[in-house]
Structure 1
Amino acid sequence: MMSVLGVFVSLALILGTANAASLGAVYTEGGMVQGKNRLVGLFRYVDEFKGIPFAAPPGRLQKPVPHPGWDGVLKATEYRNRCMQLNLLATDVVGSEDCLYLNIWVPQGSTVSTNLPVMVFIYGGAFLLGSSQGANLLDNYLYDGQEMADRGNVIVVTFNYRVGSLGFLSSGDADAPGNYGLWDQHAAISWVHRNIRNFGGNPDNLTIFGESAGGASVNFQIISPKNTGMIRRAISQSGVALCPWAISRNPRQHAEEIARTVGCPTDSGMVDCLRMTDPKAVTLAGKVKLTSTASEPILHNLALSPVIDGDFLPGEPETLFGNAADIDYIIGVNDMDGHIFATVDIPSINNALASTPVADVRSLSIALSESRGIDAGMATYQEYTVNWGSDPSDKDIKKTVVDLETDFIFLVPSQAALYLHSDHAVSGRTYSYLFSEPSRMPVYPLWMGADHADDLQYVFGKPFSTPLGYFPRHRDVAKYMISYWTNFAQTGDPNKGESSVPVTWPEFASSGHQYLDIHNSMNNNSVKQMLKTRSVYYWTRVFASFPVIKKN
């Protein structure tokens, strides 16, 4: 027989469902939308809307335009196609050109929510891949916003934007200026700002957050003059506008390579031809060469990315931080973010049975320093091997490779962005973090820390939604991150809001450029200062003092 307690729980769930607080059909500028109402706990629900168009199907290599609207009530219950992109092996194309859709999660209690903070997520994927729902395992999508919305009492929004050739090809002139993916992001943020009040959100309390290329995109969005007055707060995870992969410096050359591949001319007729060519062929032509070596790192193959177009980005990113003077900003990295690149460039990193040659470290140092020449490359090598001694262990050599790529590709640019935001801030607050929860990948070395994108599963609460895949300590990490992130969205201070936090996180500039080390066993020792200042000094002062080598 069912226990008395079981009867009461079942009765409460039935009554709760019968009286579920729900938005029902919601009016938007395009028409009415109807989502689903999900029971997520005792008298707790989440209204879930998937596949709401925030712009019309975009013209090829053109800015997005408003959606014409629809008649009747749009059933917003399924994710829509991702934007056209390469598959993971870069052998085929997936997705659609009709892809500018967003998804919304609204937490509800016993009454319908109003005036909630809004968190808009921008996915990563090297500006080549990604979607609003993220990776999927057994219908469990990485970017499902339910856990964050419910636990943090915030509205969560995710959306698609164009990537690859169709999102970031630029002719370097007015024919196809580029940045179409950034314009899509701007269109989504603008739509949310105009419509979110009808979903119970506060349009004047909008936080954008993103990871990797999404983190860089967040940075681009807050420094662009196009978003003035729309964004209140921002979080960049493992990516900022200053990262070496975030700006394409020679977009015309890459556009011409794509044109030649698909049989288009490279003169004044190039863009018109590309617009008429099969979009799958244009997308395939923009694929990245996946083979790399220590002397030819994969970083150098990432050519499809934002450009300084004189419009969305009117100047170099470092000159535009004044536009974010009143925006609260969190910037952080994972302690071994560069591992994902290091293992592609030097595969022996993950192989316990294979040693990593010292020559590979030298070659990688020179290759990453190529913009400043061979002398700078040798200086980089000496800087990163200074503590080796005469007989470094294989573990030391491998960790050096990961440190080198982490610092150059992610950590030092993020530190530079923190200084720039803090220096330009008027009312905006600045916070810094390091995520160091060790990777859960069993094939990785024992010395491994947090790899690139390891933080996402915790921010989106996967240890709660798929508990059998995690240990209790992982649920602690997820609780901490959701609390800090959603408190920040509510108040601009990650310590103050509806959720308790394990440690008070000080502002970056409050005393000695402080940062928070985020992991499963946080205490007062988790507040640290001057993150890797030697590496930051090397790259921003010593390395930068070498003359730039101009390519022919």
Structure 2
Amino acid sequence: MKFLMLTGVLGLWLASASSATLGVVQTEGGKVEGENKNMGLFHSVDVFKGIPFADVPGRWELPKRHPGWDGVLKAIKYQKRCLQVNLLQSSSKGSEDCLYLNIHVPQGRSLSRGLPVMVYIFGGAFLLGASNDVPFLSNSLYDGNEMADRGGVIVVSVNYRVGTLGFLSTGDARMPGNYGLWDQHAAISWVKRNIEAFGGNPDNITIFGQSSGAASVNYQMLSPYSKGLFRRAISQGGVALSPWAIQRDPMAMIKKIARKVGCRSTNIEEMLMCLKITDPVGITMAAKLNLLLMLGPVMNLLELSPVVDGDFIPDHPSRLFNNTADIDYLAGVNSMDGHFFAGIDVPSINKRKTETTANEVKKLISGLTKEKGAAAIQSTYSVYSAHWGSVPQQDVIKKTVVDIETDFLFLVPTQIALQLHANHARGARTYSYLFDMKTRIPGFPSWVGAEHAEDLQYVFGKPFDIPLIYFPSHRKLSANMIAYWTNFAKTGDPSKGDNKVPAPWPAFTVNRHPYLVINSKITKASVRYDLRSEYVRYWTDTYTSLPFVTTDQRTDPNHN
């Protein structure tokens, strides 16, 4: 009898110890019902997967509002990604019906109300990716449950069109481009209109993203269409000023794609009409990357990206930072964001028994700086080899290759964006960081630091989600990153909020340039100043002042 009574009391206690849950939620398109995931005593996360934020998009048309649905939409599984090439560039996957988002709402004993909202934009070179991408054992890397639960914010992840269907453009009004950016805008707008019903504060939205998603975040900040749409933004490893983040010759790209799919008319209108009736899979595969035909750095293959369309992006990104004056901005890079690219461009850097020669370094520089010719090769090489000494060690040379690509593709453009933001800010704050946790990827040389995208596992709380493959130091780092990121979303200051942080993070201003070094041992000494300022000055002053050269003046360092 006592056992039965104890069991009954325990059952009642467990029932009362469970958290609140939203159940059915009314949105502008209709009712949705997700699932409640238990995260521990008195707390859980309501998860809604695959909510449509727009109708099936027309080919190279702007997204339109979804017509809605009858009954209750069971939002319990991810919907298809947008049509794209696969990672190996061997086939396509996804669908043109792909404009869906996912919502993670943390709950306690009572229903959440007025929570800050963080909208995540995935990366993938504007060519591939999805809101539920990168399988991470039993879950997606971008699963927002841990971040929502530990940070006390609503996390939203969104799909958008990529590749040819998202970024093909004529460079004029006939096919302006930027359809993927318009999709992101439509998703953020949907969140603004609907998130209150999920317990969110529509007046406190932060957008964040990584790589091309980080550049997309920057583009959303710069667009005049975003005024009043969100309050804060975080760019992790990419900005609109990154050389891979803007299409320089969209007409040449669209003609190349048209030739590949048999739309060979020299009349542009006829060519576009042909493209619009061509099989979408064929059009998608026409943009696949062929590393075997690569001439020069892999960056040169990344030809599909946003364009200056005179509308969503009305001018060059560097001239649009006045539109960011009221948006708090936090941006940074990983210490070796360029390592992945450098390993393709100069394969010897990852081979312990293979030397990397000075000539290979010059050849890489030549590919990156071809628009400036021989003078750029020599001046860049001199700056980056200045610390080598007369007999440089191989690790020093190999790390220099990574530094060149990291600086050129990520770090310097990010520092320029931070400076432009600080220059134009009216009450908004600016923050800079360097993520420098040693790589966890096996097989790399011992000198490799933080690889491209390695920060994401910590932001999304994977060391807590999958504890067996991480150490306590990784959980400490993850807890601190979630605290900084979500404090920033709540208050505009990563040091202030209800999540404890290990050290104060000072703001980046017009004249003072502090940055936080993020790893598993953050202390007050982790705040440093003027990140790689010598190299930032080189690329922004010396390199910029060099004259452009014509195609026939460009020099191959092998033929001096």
- Shorter-chain TM range is over 0.9
Report if the CA contact (8 A) 2:48-2:104 is conserved.
yes
Residues 137 and 10 (structure 1), Cα distance of their counterparts in 2 relative to 1, 3 Å cut? farther
**3-state DSSP of counterpart to 2:355:** coil
Matches for 1:443-454 after TM superposition, within 5 Å:
443-454=443-454
Aligned to 2:119: 120
Aligned to 2:271: 270
CA distance in 2 between counterparts of 1:326 and 1:187 reads 21
* TM superposition shift of 1:138: 3.7
**3-state DSSP of counterpart to 2:515:** strand
Aligned to 1:290: 291
* TM superposition shift of 1:381: 1.2
1:333 aligns with 2:333: yes
Report if the CA contact (8 A) 2:419-2:510 is conserved.
no
Aligned to 2:342: 342
CA distance in 2 between counterparts of 1:257 and 1:518 reads 43
Residues 9 and 162 (structure 1), Cα distance of their counterparts in 2 relative to 1, 3 Å cut? farther
**3-state DSSP of counterpart to 1:150:** helix
Matched to 1:48, the amino acid is V
1:235 aligns with 2:248: no
CA distance in 2 between counterparts of 1:106 and 1:7 reads 31
* TM superposition shift of 1:292: 7.1
Aligned to 1:357: 357
Report if the CA contact (8 A) 1:292-1:344 is conserved.
no
Aligned to 1:280: 281
**3-state DSSP of counterpart to 1:107:** strand
* TM superposition shift of 1:134: 1.7
Aligned to 2:557: none
* TM superposition shift of 1:511: 6.7
CA distance in 2 between counterparts of 1:312 and 1:134 reads 27
Matched to 2:271, the amino acid is M
Residues 510 and 246 (structure 1), Cα distance of their counterparts in 2 relative to 1, 3 Å cut? closer
**Which stretch of the first structure deviates more once superposed, 382-391 or 533-542?**
382-391
**3-state DSSP of counterpart to 2:76:** coil
CA distance in 2 between counterparts of 1:467 and 1:267 reads 59
Matched to 2:312, the amino acid is F
Let me know the Cα RMSD of the aligned residues: 1.7
Aligned to 1:253: 252
1:512 aligns with 2:507: no
Give TM-score, length-normalised by structure 2: 0.95
Matches for 1:442-521 after TM superposition, within 5 Å:
442-509=442-509, 512-521=512-521
* TM superposition shift of 1:174: 1.6
1:406 aligns with 2:406: yes
CA distance in 2 between counterparts of 1:511 and 1:320 reads 21
CA distance in 1 between counterparts of 2:210 and 2:275 reads 30
Matched to 1:473, the amino acid is S
Structure 1 vs Structure 2: percent identity of aligned residues? 57
1:102 aligns with 2:101: yes
Aligned to 2:90: 91
Report if the CA contact (8 A) 1:325-1:424 is conserved.
yes
* TM superposition shift of 1:290: 2.2
Aligned to 1:425: 425
Residues 466 and 546 (structure 1), Cα distance of their counterparts in 2 relative to 1, 3 Å cut? same
**3-state DSSP of counterpart to 2:291:** coil
Aligned to 1:381: 381
Spell out, residue by residue over 1:27-63, the C-alpha distance to the aligned partner (whole angstroms, 9 max, x if none). 1110000000111110101100000000001111111
Matched to 1:42, the amino acid is L
* TM superposition shift of 1:551: 4.9
Spell out, residue by residue over 1:255-307, the C-alpha distance to the aligned partner (whole angstroms, 9 max, x if none). 100000000034221111111100000000011222477x7110011100000
**3-state DSSP of counterpart to 1:426:** coil
Aligned to 2:558: none
Give TM-score, length-normalised by structure 1: 0.96
* TM superposition shift of 1:9: 12
* TM superposition shift of 1:127: 0.2
Report if the CA contact (8 A) 1:371-1:548 is conserved.
yes
Aligned to 1:133: 132
Matched to 2:90, the amino acid is T
* TM superposition shift of 1:354: 1.3
**Which stretch of the first structure deviates more once superposed, 121-130 or 172-181?**
172-181
**Which stretch of the first structure deviates more once superposed, 262-271 or 330-339?**
262-271
Spell out, residue by residue over 1:116-162, the C-alpha distance to the aligned partner (whole angstroms, 9 max, x if none). 00000000000001100121144311000000000000000001000
Unaligned 5+ residue runs, structure 2?
A: 553-560
Residues 226 and 304 (structure 1), Cα distance of their counterparts in 2 relative to 1, 3 Å cut? same
CA distance in 2 between counterparts of 1:117 and 1:539 reads 38
Aligned to 1:163: 162
CA distance in 2 between counterparts of 1:474 and 1:175 reads 50
Matched to 1:159, the amino acid is V
Matches for 1:534-549 after TM superposition, within 5 Å:
534-549=534-549
**3-state DSSP of counterpart to 1:230:** coil
Aligned to 1:174: 173
Matched to 1:429, the amino acid is R
Matched to 1:334, the amino acid is N
* TM superposition shift of 1:186: 0.3
CA distance in 2 between counterparts of 1:147 and 1:276 reads 44
Matched to 2:94, the amino acid is G
Report if the CA contact (8 A) 2:423-2:510 is conserved.
no
Matched to 1:549, the amino acid is V
1:142 aligns with 2:141: yes
* TM superposition shift of 1:110: 0.4
CA distance in 2 between counterparts of 1:391 and 1:110 reads 65
* TM superposition shift of 1:372: 1.2
Matched to 1:397, the amino acid is I
Unaligned 5+ residue runs, structure 1?
A: none
Matched to 2:159, the amino acid is N
CA distance in 2 between counterparts of 1:330 and 1:453 reads 17
CA distance in 2 between counterparts of 1:285 and 1:136 reads 26
Report if the CA contact (8 A) 2:422-2:510 is conserved.
no
**3-state DSSP of counterpart to 1:47:** strand
**3-state DSSP of counterpart to 2:172:** coil
* TM superposition shift of 1:509: 1.6
Aligned to 1:372: 372
**3-state DSSP of counterpart to 1:373:** helix
CA distance in 2 between counterparts of 1:149 and 1:412 reads 32
Report if the CA contact (8 A) 1:291-1:298 is conserved.
no
* TM superposition shift of 1:535: 0.4
Matched to 2:288, the amino acid is K
Aligned to 2:556: none
**What count of residue pairs does the alignment treat as equivalent?**
546
Shift >3 Å, 4+ stretches: 6-14
Residues 292 and 380 (structure 1), Cα distance of their counterparts in 2 relative to 1, 3 Å cut? farther
Residues 8 and 441 (structure 1), Cα distance of their counterparts in 2 relative to 1, 3 Å cut? farther
Residues 304 and 56 (structure 1), Cα distance of their counterparts in 2 relative to 1, 3 Å cut? same
Residues 10 and 266 (structure 1), Cα distance of their counterparts in 2 relative to 1, 3 Å cut? farther
Report if the CA contact (8 A) 2:171-2:308 is conserved.
no
